[in-house]
Structure 1
Amino acid sequence: MSAKFLFGASLGALCAFAGCTPALAQDTPPSAEEQASADQAGIADIVVTAQRVEENSQRVPVAIDVIAPAELVQQNVIRAEDLSRVTPSLSASGGGGPTTVFFVRGVGNATVNGYSDPAIAFNYDGVYIGRPTSTSGVFYDLERVEVLKGPQGTLYGRNATAGAINVIPNRPKLGETSGNFMLGYGNYDWLTGQAAINVPVGRDVAVRAAASVSRHDAFQSDGTGNQREYAGRLQIYGEPTAQLDLRLAFDFSHQGGAGSSGFYLGAVDPTFGPTGFAGYQFTPSGFSDQQGLLDPASNAYLASRFIAQAGRAGAVVDGVPYNHNNYWGVTAELNYQTDAGTLTIQPAYRESRIDYAFNGVFRQGVTKEKDTQSSVEARWAGDFGTSVDYLLGAIYFDESINATARYNQQTLSPYQDFSTGTESWAGFGKVTFHPTEALSLTAAGRYTSDRKTFDGTSNVYILFCGNPEPPQDFCPTLPFIPLASTEAELRSFYASQGVPITPVPLFVLPPFAGGSQTAPFVLLAPIAIDSGLKNDKFTYRLAAQYDFSPRNMIYASYETGYHAGGFSFARGVETYEPETIRAYTIGSKNRFLDNRLQLNVEAFLWKYKNQQFSQFGYDLGNPPSTVFLTRNIGDSTIKGFDVDVEFLATENTLISANVQRLDTKYDSFTYFAPNQGLPPNTTCPFSPTTQTTPGGTIAVFEIDCSGNPAFNSPKWSFNLSGQQTVPIGNDYKAVLVAGTRYRSSSYSSADYLPYLQAQATYVSYASVTFGREDDSLYLTLYVNNIEDNRRLVGGTTNAAGLIAASAEQPRTYGIRLGGNF
Structure 2
Amino acid sequence: MNVFHRSVSALAICAAMVLPQIAVAQDSDAQTRLGGLEEIVVTAQRVSQSAQKAPLPVDVVTSADLRQQIVTRAEDLSRTSPALATVGGAGGTTTFYLRGVGNNTVNAYSDPAIAFNYDGVYIGRPSSTSGMFYDLARVEVLKGPQGTLYGRNATGGAINVIPNRPRLDEFGVDATVGYGNYNWWTAQAALNVPAGDSVAMRLAGTLSRHDAFMSDGTGNQREYGARFQIYAEPAPQLDLRIAADYAHQGGASSSSYYFGSVDPTFGPSGFAGYEYKRSGFSSLQGLGDPASQDYLASRYITQVGRAGAASDGNPSNDNDYWGVTAELNYKTDIGTLTIQPAWREAHIDYRFANIFREAGSKEDDRQASIEARWAGQAGPQIDYLLGGMYFDEKIGATAYYNQWTLSPFQEFDTHTKSWAGFGKFTFRPIERLSLTAAGRYTSDRKSFDGVSNVYILFCGNPALRNSCPTLPFMPLATNGADVESFYGAAGIPVTSVPLFVLPDAFGGSQTAPFVLRSPIVINSSLKNNKFTYRLAAQYDFSPSNMVYASFETGYHAGGFSFARGLDSYQPETLDAYTLGSKNRFLGNRLQLNVEAFLWKYRNQQFSQFGYDLGDPPSTVLLTRNIGTSTIKGVDLDVEFQATPDTLLSGSIQYLDTKYDSFVYYAPNQGLPPKTACGYSPTTQTTPGGSVVNVFEIDCSGRQAFNAPKWSFTVNGEQTVPLGDLKLVLQAGTRYRSSTYFSADYLPFLKSKSNFVTTLSATLAQASDRWSITAYAFNVTDSRRLANAVINSANLYVADAEQPRTYGLRASFHY
Match of 2:119 among 118, 122, 125: 125
- Give the match for residue 797 of structure 1: 790
Q: Give how far 1:502 is off.
A: 0.5
Letter of the aligned partner of 2:507 in structure 1? G
* Secondary structure class of the residue paired with 1:82: helix
Checking the alignment, whether the CA contact within 8 Å between 1:404 and 1:417 is kept in structure 2 is: yes
Aligned to 1:694: 687
Partner of 2:778: 785
Q: Does 1:574 align with 2:567?
A: yes
- The CA deviation at 1:484 is 1.3
Does residue 724 in structure 1 map to residue 718 in structure 2?
A: yes
What's the counterpart of residue 762 of structure 1?
755
Give, as a single letter, the amino acid of the residue that structure 1 aligns with 2:644: E
Aligned to 2:358: 364
Aligned-partner Cα distance in 2 for 1:651–1:187: 34
Which amino acid in 1 is paired with 2:757?
S
Q: Confirm or deny that 1:46 pairs with 2:40.
A: yes
1:415 aligns with 2:412: no
Match of 1:459 among 445, 453, 459: 453
SS of 1:361 mapped into structure 2: coil
- Equivalent position to 1:681, from 674, 692, 703: 674
Amino acid at match of 1:536: N
**CA–CA distance in 2 between the matches of 1:7 and 1:409?**
51
Report the Cα offset of residue 513 of structure 1. Answer: 1.3
Give the aligned partner of residue 477 of structure 1: 470
**Contact 2:145–2:156 (Cα < 8 Å) also in 1:** yes
Q: CA deviation at 1:201?
A: 0.5
Tell me the secondary structure at the aligned position of residue 90 of structure 2.
Answer: coil
Give aligned-pair identity as a percent: 65
- 1:316 counterpart (310, 313, 333): 310
Which runs of structure 2 are paired with 1:419-568 in the superposition (5 Å)? Answer: 419-470=413-464, 472-568=465-561
Question: 2:8·2:579 contact (CA, 8 Å) conserved in 1?
Answer: no
Q: Specify which of 287, 293, 308 is matched with residue 299 of structure 1.
A: 293
Paired residue for 1:251?
245
Code of the aligned partner of 1:122 = F
Q: Which moved more, 1:618-627 or 1:285-294?
A: 618-627
For 1:6 and 1:234, the matched residues in 2 are separated by: 49
Tell me the secondary structure at the aligned position of residue 107 of structure 2. coil
Q: 2:623 aligned with 1:630, yes or no?
A: yes
| Aligned residues of 2:91 and 2:348 also touching (Cα < 8 A) | no
Match in the other structure for 1:148: 142
- Is the CA contact 1:213–1:229 (under 8 Å) kept in the aligned structure 2? yes
Question: 2:740 — aligned with what?
Answer: 747
Residues 54-112 of structure 1, C-alpha deviations (whole Å, 9 max, x = no match) = 00000000100000112112222111111001111001101222111111001111100
1:115 is the counterpart of 2:109: yes
Instruction: Judge conservation of contact 1:118–1:159 (CA < 8 Å) in 2.
Output: no
Q: Name the CA distance, whole Å, in 1 between partners of 2:646 and 2:140.
A: 25
2:73 equivalent in structure 1? 79
- Which amino acid letter does the alignment assign opposite residue 268 of structure 1? V
Q: Which amino acid aligns with 1:658?
A: S
Q: Deviations over 1:380-403 (max 9, x none)?
A: 000112200000000000000000
Matched with 1:182 is: 176
- Per the alignment, do residues 211 and 157 of structure 1 end up closer, same or farther by CA in structure 2, a change over 3 Å counting? closer
What is the CA–CA distance in structure 2 between the aligned matches of 1:528 and 1:432, rounded to whole Å? 50
Kept after mapping to 1: 8 A contact 2:117/2:151: no
Aligned position for 2:662: 669
Secondary structure of residue in 2 paired with 1:174: coil
Cα deviations by residue, 1:577-626 (Å, 9 ceiling, x for unpaired): 00000000000000011110000000000000001100011112111111
Q: Report the residue type matching 1:45 in the other structure.
A: E
Structure 2 equivalent of residue 393 of structure 1: 387
Residue aligned with 2:223, SS: strand
Unpaired runs of 5+ residues, structure 2, are: none
2: CA distance, partners of 1:489 / 1:234: 45
The separation in 2 between residues aligned to 1:272 and 1:725, in whole angstroms, is 65
The 3-state SS of whatever aligns with 1:376 is strand
Following TM superposition, by how much is the alpha carbon of 1:159 offset from its aligned partner in structure 2, in angstroms?
A: 3.4
Runs of 4+ residues deviating >6 angstroms: 37-40
Residue in 1 that maps onto 2:235: 241
Separation in 2, partners of 1:176, 1:436: 42
How has the CA–CA distance of structure 1 residues 499 and 431 changed in structure 2, closer, same or farther, with 3 Å as cutoff? same
Q: 1:610 to 1:744 in 2, by over 3 A?
A: same
SS at match of 2:234: coil
Q: Aligned residues, how many?
A: 812
Aligned counterparts of 2:11 and 2:717: Cα–Cα separation in 1: 25
Alpha-carbon offset, residue 3 of structure 1: 4.7
The structure-2 alpha-carbon separation of the partners of 1:6 and 1:694, relative to structure 1 and needing over 3 Å to count, comes to closer
Is the contact made by 2:121 and 2:151 (CA closer than 8 Å) also made in structure 1? no
Superposition deviation, residue 751 in structure 1: 0.3
Contact 2:91 2:319 in 1 (8 A): no
Give the structure 2 partner of residue 588 of structure 1.
Answer: 581
User: Aligned match of 2:95 in 86, 98, 101?
Assistant: 101
Partner SS, residue 435 of structure 1: strand
Alignment CA distance shift 1:6-1:768 (3 Å): farther
Higher deviation after alignment, 394-403 or 7-16: 7-16
Instruction: Give 1:6 shift.
Output: 5.2
Residues 659 and 71 of structure 1: CA distance in aligned 2, closer, same or farther (over 3 Å):
same
- Deviation, structure 1 residue 13: 5.9
**Structure 1 counterpart SS, 2:342:** strand
Tell me the amino acid that sits aligned with residue 156 of structure 1: Y
Residues 412 and 461 in structure 1, CA contact (< 8 A), matched pair in contact too? yes
Shift of 1:486: 2.1
CA contact (8 A) 2:33 2:586 kept: no
User: Which residue does the alignment assign to 1:810?
Assistant: 803
Q: Give 1:274 deviation, angstroms.
A: 1.3
The answer on 1:19 being equivalent to 2:20 is: yes
Would the alpha carbon gap of residues 327 and 589 (structure 1) be closer, same or farther in structure 2, given more than 3 Å must change? same
Q: Deviation at 1:12?
A: 6.1
Cα separation, 1, equivalents of 2:551 and 2:151:
15
- The answer to whether the Cα contact below 8 Å between 2:122 and 2:151 also exists between their aligned partners in 1 is no
Kept after mapping to 1: 8 A contact 2:122/2:152: no
Per-residue CA distance 1:406-433 (angstroms, 9 max, x = gap):
0011100000000001000000000000
Greater shift in the superposed pair: 484-493 or 593-602: 484-493
Shift of 1:492: 1.0
Relative to structure 2, which stretch is displaced further, 7-16 or 267-276? 7-16
Instruction: Tell me by how many angstroms 1:39 deviates.
Output: 10
Q: Which whole-Å CA distance do the structure 1 matches of 2:80 and 2:8 have between them?
A: 24
1:337 aligns with 2:338: no
Once the two structures are superposed, residues 767-818 of structure 1 have per-residue CA deviations (whole angstroms, 9 ceiling, x without a partner) of 0000101111100000000110011011111111100000000000000011
Asked whether the equivalents of residues 42 and 596 of structure 1 are also in contact (C-alpha less than 8 Å), the reply is yes
Q: 1:7 touches 1:601 (CA, 8 Å); kept in 2? A: no
Scaled by the length of structure 2, the TM-score of the pair is 0.98
Name the stretch that deviates more: 591-600 or 687-696: 687-696
Change (3 A) 1:26 1:71: closer
The CA distance in 2 between the partners of 1:573 and 1:237, in whole Å, is: 49
Q: Deviations over 1:529-560 (max 9, x none)?
A: 01100000000000000000000000000000
Q: How far apart are residue 281 of structure 1 and its match?
A: 0.8
Q: 2:511 and 2:33 mapped to 1: Cα distance?
A: 82
Provide the rounded CA distance (Å) in 1 between the counterparts of 2:686 and 2:60. Answer: 48
Distance in 2 separating the partners of 1:17 and 1:700: 58
CA distance in 1, matches of 2:18, 2:128: 46
Letter matched to residue 618 of structure 1:
Y
Distance (Å, rounded) in 2 between the aligned partners of 1:70 and 1:678: 54
> Considering only aligned residues, what root-mean-square deviation do their CA atoms show, in Å?
1.7
Deviations 1:629-680 (A, max 9, x none): 0011100000000000000000010000010000000000000000000000
